[in-house]
Amino acid sequence: MAGARLGDDDAGMTEINILPLVDVVLVVLIIFMVTTSYIVSPSIKVTLPDAATGEATAPSSLGITVTAQGALLLDGEPVTEPEIRAAVRAAKAENGDVVCLIAGDKDARHGAVTHVIDLVKQEGVAKFAINIEPVETGP
């Protein structure tokens, strides 16, 4: 029995072992679930007005928010009017084509939102958009 073999080399593997693949997928899923809780940034709640004719806009250079109390936020940070002017000037110096996305709370005064529009137009911003919450319209 010197020539006897313990295994048959001619027989191929007939089954696919998917356990290592399942292990890797589960580890990646766990990593994804843990890291997504850190990605979500804190935000200030603003209730946007509804409109049925809203369109998607390109990513904006500056996001200006007017809260219900009339406070101004630039990209989520509280600011004053001179700080908005300075940010617009800096963005124009960096990239000549500046787009402002203006979000006004539905309970904000119309005059406050109009004032912000006028403020950015005074600084030479020709492109701006009003942020809304799109609603479904009936058939």
Please check the confidence at residue 139 and state whether its pLDDT lies above 50: yes
Q: What is the pTM of this model?
A: 0.55
What CATH class is the domain 50-134? alpha beta
Q: Across the chain, what does the average pLDDT equal?
A: 77
pLDDT, one tens digit per residue, over 51-72 is 666 665 544 478 888 988 888 9
DSSP-derived letter for residue 99 is E
Of 92 and 8, more confident: 92
User: Which residues, in sequence order, are CB contacts of 106 under 8 Å at separation 6+?
Assistant: 47, 48, 49, 50, 68
